[in-house]
Amino acid sequence: MSILRFEKVTREIGTFVILDEIAAAIALGDRIGLVGPNGAGKTTLLRVAAGIDEPDLGSVSRKRGLTLGLLAQEAHFDLEFMAAPDLRSAVRSAAPELLELGARLRELEHAHRVEEPLYAELQHRFDVLGGYTLDQRIDETLSGLGFTRDEWTKPPGALSGGEQTRAALARLVIADPDLMLLDEPTNHLDLGALEWLEEHLRRRNGSLLVASHDRAFLDATVERVWELRDRRLTIFRGDYAAYHRQRIERDARLDKDVSTQAEQIAREQELVQRYRSHRKYAKMHEHEARLVRLQEARIEAPKAARKLRLPTAALVGASGPSRSGEIVVRAEQLVVGYLPRFRRAGSQGSDRTAGPGAGETPTAEPLAVARVPFLAAQRGDRIGIVGPNGAGKTTLLRTIAGDLPPLDGLLTIGIGVSIGYLAQLRDAAIPGETVLGALTSAISITEGEARGYLARFLFRGVDALKEVRALSGGERSRLELALLGIMPANLLLLDEPTNHLDIPAREAIEAFMANSPATLLIVSHDRRLLETVCDRLWVVDDHLAAPFDGGYRAWRAAVAVSWTVAAAIEADALRLRISSPRSGATKVALAAGGGVSSTTASLIPPAVAGSRPKVTSSRKVVPATAKVVPATKGAGRPRLPRLSKDAYRRQKAAVDAELTRLGLRKNHLELALGDPAVGANFVELRRITSELADVSVGLEAAEEAWLEVEDRAP
């Protein structure tokens, strides 16, 4: 039985028809995903379903007594929500019936009327509606959606926009309506909150209609897909992956049918002309009738969707950036955060962060967000930076980009590295009043060249003349991507690059990243992007950062068996202490919590592993291939003649490449040894163990060769 039905619903905005004769129904327990490109009308359909907007034609029928709740992309809050003393009270107000029943029960208890039938009736209803577990469910919901206990006591007005949207989602979860309408619910959720919400939606008995561009979220939560395309609604069975397969098959069949029909029409037209020329009018009229029937039943080819096409070369410097060094980024005992702001005594002006001047005092202490014992990115790496909201992912990326100075430790950017940075917070003004003006303000090119470049990012015709301040979230993201591609870069720092983009645009970005030769550091909550593009992760959590050798699924599997950042750092520190070649002479004592990953262990200088590195507030540039090995390993070696500069450079580059290759291979083999499937396969275990022994011998020989080359440095 349907609880909501659309009957030939048509919705117009001005003279533009956005929904055309939509017919569909939602039954109790249905979980439906609503997909389509930006601007297809998904938000409009949700607002019509919620009764906020009325259809221009057709009707929407709802089951009597139906309760529904809508989470909009930009949540608007009522006065009751904003007036609540704290976040927990604001979320608790989503269950008014339970609050009223609880108040009535307390009144009866105070009046000593607990023996009356009315008390028993109210108590039974309170129990059935979950009144006794309300506080527990509120705590679980707030924790699941990423709110810390300290934030529970904040007034709603003190929350950021994203936090208020998450609070609105928490209220909707507690209200538990018969039909839940969600418009892009994953926009402000981190990975932990996403997984919690998915599990909650799978367990609940009510109906769900959710518009989302998060493909992994749709796969986990929906059983049917409604597609809005060309103002019409098409229904598909299964999750998003099943819908995607069906859509590809339907489009292929439709293209074939259109082609076949076009051939039939051409054939009938040819026959009509032939019989007319031969004056065989009976045959001519027969084929004319067939031609009319074919034209009346003409199959319309689907409109080709405009697709985002990211250029493979920058707008200027088409030859591309120079090749960077082997090591692109390296951080050692790095502390990232925010410097204090300074103000002159008695001044009412704005604070500044450039450092203290005469008569100036800090207005706050430096704020350390996260500590990085050791991280390194090599040329060509595609690394995803993951962790909960507020852990310091963006702060780390901004520090690497040069927007923020390091508070402590050493940050090294390799030779030949040119950085392109896409920020997440895109509210700052962009020069130029229009999209076209924003591009021409950034680079001196002709209007024709600018329009041709912007067309790749779907700004065609009058779209290029839109005011920047009037752009939607998706349009703003596309403009930022266009500005990012002006100059060539071999290190791309991308902070939530798929935010507000629809699925075709996300797929275009994934294809671009997969084929890009640049080194990528990507902060993202898009699990499909992380799994498709990134082969390694940097995990930021609990004010620490550590690498993880594997993709997103491998990381979540490791977390499920108690992997944590702190434990990984401690384990790597212990491994270095045990395996240090200088253990007989000098013990390697790492700072508390310090350590490196197995992937980057061969890149850290053991000389600094046991001591605090030189503190610097600038980005030190060093040769990207530089590696330091134990100075004591080759003690007593006879002094050989020095090499020429060219010979030294060639031999050192060859040895560096061999060290990197063997080090990475050793790390992969060590990781494979920890795989239970390998442990259960004797033949595979023996092969990996044997290869690991050979690689270890080769690595020792390469280290000796490195020391020999260094001894002969000019």
Q: Tell me the three state secondary structure of residue 705.
A: helix
Q: For the residues 652-657, what does the mean pLDDT come to?
A: 79
DSSP for residue 415: T
What DSSP letter does each residue of 398-411 carry, written as one string?
HHHHTSS--SEEEE
pLDDT value of position 234: 93
pLDDT at position 373 is: 92
* Range from 165-169, 322-326, 420-424, 621-625 carrying the lowest mean pLDDT: 621-625
Name the residue among 229, 235, 230, 210 with its Cα closest to residue 220.
210
Tell me if 643 is assigned to some domain.
Answer: yes
pLDDT-derived band at 586, boundaries 50, 70, 90: very low
pLDDT of residue 583: 35
Query: Whole-angstrom Cα distance, residue 475 to residue 131?
Result: 45
> In 402-545, where does DSSP find H-type helix?
435-442, 447-455, 473-484, 503-515, 527-533
pLDDT category of residue 602 using cuts at 50, 70 and 90: very low
Helix (H, G, I), strand (E, B) or coil at 464: helix
* CA neighbor of 169 nearest in space, from 153, 192, 193: 193
Contact partners, residue 487, CB within 8 Å, separation at least 6: 314, 315, 316, 317, 418, 420
Q: Tokens at residue 342, please?
A: 């300074």
Burial class (CB in 10 A: 0-12, 13-18, 19+), 299: middle
Which pLDDT does position 66 carry in this prediction?
A: 92
Instruction: Tell me, yes or no, whether 13 and 149 share the same domain.
Output: yes
Provide the token pair at 136: 């527990």
Q: What is the dihedral of CA 64, 67, 68, 69, to 10 degrees?
A: 150
Mean pLDDT computed over every residue of the chain = 81
Each residue's pLDDT tens digit, 348-383? 555 555 455 545 555 556 788 899 999 999 988 999
Residues 166 and 59 in one domain: yes
Could you tell me if 315 and 387 lie in one domain? yes
Residue 554 has pLDDT above 70, yes or no: yes
Predicted local distance difference test score (pLDDT) of residue 661: 80
Write the CB contacts of 421 (distance below 8 Å, at least 6 apart in sequence): 397, 401, 403, 484, 492, 493, 495
One domain for residues 627 and 638:
no
Residue 568 and residue 478 in one domain: no
Model confidence pLDDT, tens digit, residues 453-498: 888 888 888 888 888 877 777 788 888 888 888 888 889 999 988 8
- In 129-190, alpha helices (H): 134-144, 149-152, 161-175
Task: State residue 424's pLDDT score.
Answer: 75
Same domain assignment for residues 502 and 585? yes
Residue 362 in domain: no
**Which pLDDT belongs to residue 443?**
81
Task: Evaluate if residue 161 carries a pLDDT over 90.
Answer: no
Higher-confidence position of 537 and 358: 537
pLDDT tens-digit map of 191-240: 889 999 999 999 999 999 999 999 999 999 999 999 998 889 999 999 99
Residue 112 located in a structural domain: no
Lowest mean pLDDT, pick from 179-183, 340-344, 582-586, 692-696:
582-586
| 618 pLDDT higher than 70 | no
Residue 502 lies in a domain: yes
pLDDT digits (tens, 9 = 90+) for 231-276: 899 999 999 999 999 998 988 888 888 888 889 899 989 998 988 8
Torsion angle, alpha carbons of 198, 201, 203, 209, to 10: -140
Q: Which of 259, 278, 296 is the last residue of a domain?
A: 296
- Tens digits of residue pLDDT in 389-432: 888 999 999 999 988 999 989 998 888 888 989 887 655 556 66
- The answer to whether residue 101 is domain-embedded is no
Answer yes or no: do 67 and 174 share one domain. Answer: yes
Q: Which DSSP symbol is given to 467?
A: B
Which residues, at least 6 apart from 135, have a Cβ–Cβ distance to it below 8 Å? 92
For 455, the domain range is 425-486
Confidence of residue 40 (pLDDT cuts 50, 70, 90): confident
- Residues 67, 178, single domain; the answer is yes
User: Taking residues 589-614, what's their average pLDDT?
Assistant: 34
The DSSP code for 28 is: T
Q: Which residues of 524-556 are buried (b: 16+ CB within 10 A; e: fewer)?
A: bbbbbbbbbbbebbbbbbebbbbbbbbbbebbb
658-680 burial, b at 16+ Cβ within 10 Å, e below that, comes to bbbebbbbbbebbebeeeeebee
Query: 631, 665, 700 — which closes off a domain?
Result: 631
Q: Give the pLDDT confidence of 101-136 residue by residue, as tens digits.
A: 989 999 888 888 888 889 899 989 988 888 888 999
Shared domain for 479 and 386, answered yes or no, is no
- Number of domains present in the structure of the chain: 5
Per-residue pLDDT at 448: 86
User: What pLDDT, on the 0 to 100 scale, is given for residue 665?
Assistant: 80
Res. 653: pLDDT tops 70: yes
Task: Specify if 683 maps to a domain.
Answer: yes
Of residues 458 and 541, the one with the higher pLDDT is: 541
Q: Is the pLDDT of residue 563 over 50?
A: yes
Half-sphere exposure of residue 263: CA atoms within 13 angstroms, side-chain side? 6
Q: What is the pLDDT of residue 423?
A: 85
As a whole-number percent, the residues of the chain with pLDDT over 90 amount to 28
Is residue 106 in some structural domain? no
Structure tokens at 144: 């699941």
Q: Name the domain boundary from 605, 631, 657.
A: 631
Same domain, 482 and 494: no
Pick the residue with more confidence: 626 or 91? 91
Same domain, 57 and 81: yes
Asked if residue 136 and residue 75 are part of one domain, the reply reads yes
In one-letter notation, the amino acid at residue 199 is: E
Check residue 519 and give its pLDDT: 92
Give backbone dihedrals phi and psi of 534, rounded to 5 degrees, phi first.
-90, 130
Quote the pLDDT of residue 581. 43
CATH number at residue 599: 3.40.50.300
CA-CA distance, 485 to 492, in Å (whole number)?
10
Query: For 6-36, what is each residue's pLDDT tens digit?
Result: 999 999 887 888 899 999 999 999 999 999 9
**The pLDDT of residue 302:** 66
Q: Flag whether 110 is in a domain.
A: no
pLDDT at 530: 92
**692, exposed or middle or buried, with CB in 10 Å at 0-12, 13-18, 19+?**
middle
DSSP annotation of 680: T
What was the pLDDT predicted at 318?
55
